[in-house]
């Protein structure tokens, strides 16, 4: 079990995802104002490869993180399940590009997968910020995730807006909370092991 390495996988996945998305935005900056969210970049040949890599790499790193973190705390088993679920759902989003060929049924599947993914992430950040690692910064991340998630839903129901910006802020808030919790747990376990070692050494 390695909480620190799990946190590194998640953080690396986030950085890679955002970096590739930034390149997509530089190629087609209109994606910032068309209110189609991140999935906008999965519908254009010049950004499709970068968009695909962003999802595949992030998904694989989340899956890897779920395999290396421990289960010392009760919530850890749920975090492991959530990471695997999100990794799978990201592939689902990738395979159901929004507005592709204007297929209503495909768009509905895409929205359902996206809503499920967001819901899982929201449940987990609430559990982390309220139950297991309650500090001012995690509470701030929870508030930010709530507001940006709500904004993304509102923009989803409107023809204009800033859905991609709301989605990006939401994802950053979610994954920073995960990373902080895993690093915090790693530090606490290290302190506990150090105390046990000192106690044994005195015997």
Note the helical H segments in 128-162. 136-156
pLDDT, tens only, 170-189 = 999 999 999 999 998 888 77
Number of H helices, E strands in the chain: 6, 0
Token pair 């970096």 is found at 19
pLDDT, tens only, 58-93 = 999 999 999 998 777 788 889 999 999 999 999 999
Rounded to 5°, the CA angle 110-51-111 comes to: 10
Domain ranges for the chain:
3-202
- Checking if the pLDDT of 3 tops 90, the result is no
d(CA 50, CA 72): 37
Token pair 């973190």 is found at 69
Cβ contact 127:78 at 8 Å: yes
Q: Helix axis angle, 136-156 relative to 163-202, nearest 10°?
A: 150
Best-predicted range by mean pLDDT (6-20, 25-39, 97-111): 6-20
Q: pTM for the whole thing?
A: 0.89
């Amino acid at each position: 079990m390695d909480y620190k390495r799990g946190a590194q996988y998640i953080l690396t996945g986030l950085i890679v995802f955002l970096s590739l998305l930034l390149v997509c935005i530089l190629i087609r900056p209109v994606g910032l104002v068309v209110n189609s969210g991140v999935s906008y970049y999965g519908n254009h040949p010049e950004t499709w490869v970068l968009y695909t890599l962003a999802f595949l790499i992030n998904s694989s790193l989340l899956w890897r993180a779920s395999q290396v973190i421990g289960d010392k705390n009760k919530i850890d088993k749920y975090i492991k399940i959530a990471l695997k679920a999100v990794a799978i759902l990201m592939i689902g989003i990738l395979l159901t590009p929004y507005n592709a060929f204007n297929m209503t049924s495909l768009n509905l599947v895409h929205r359902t997968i996206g809503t499920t993914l967001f819901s899982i992430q929201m449940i987990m950040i609430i559990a982390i910020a309220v139950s297991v690692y309650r500090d001012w910064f995690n509470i701030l991340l929870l508030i930010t995730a709530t507001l940006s998630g709500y904004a993304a839903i509102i923009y989803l129901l409107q023809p204009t807006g800033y859905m991609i910006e709301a989605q990006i802020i939401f994802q950053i808030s979610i994954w920073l909370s995960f990373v902080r919790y895993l690093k915090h747990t790693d530090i606490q376990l290290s302190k506990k092991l150090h105390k046990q070692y000192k106690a044994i050494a005195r015997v």
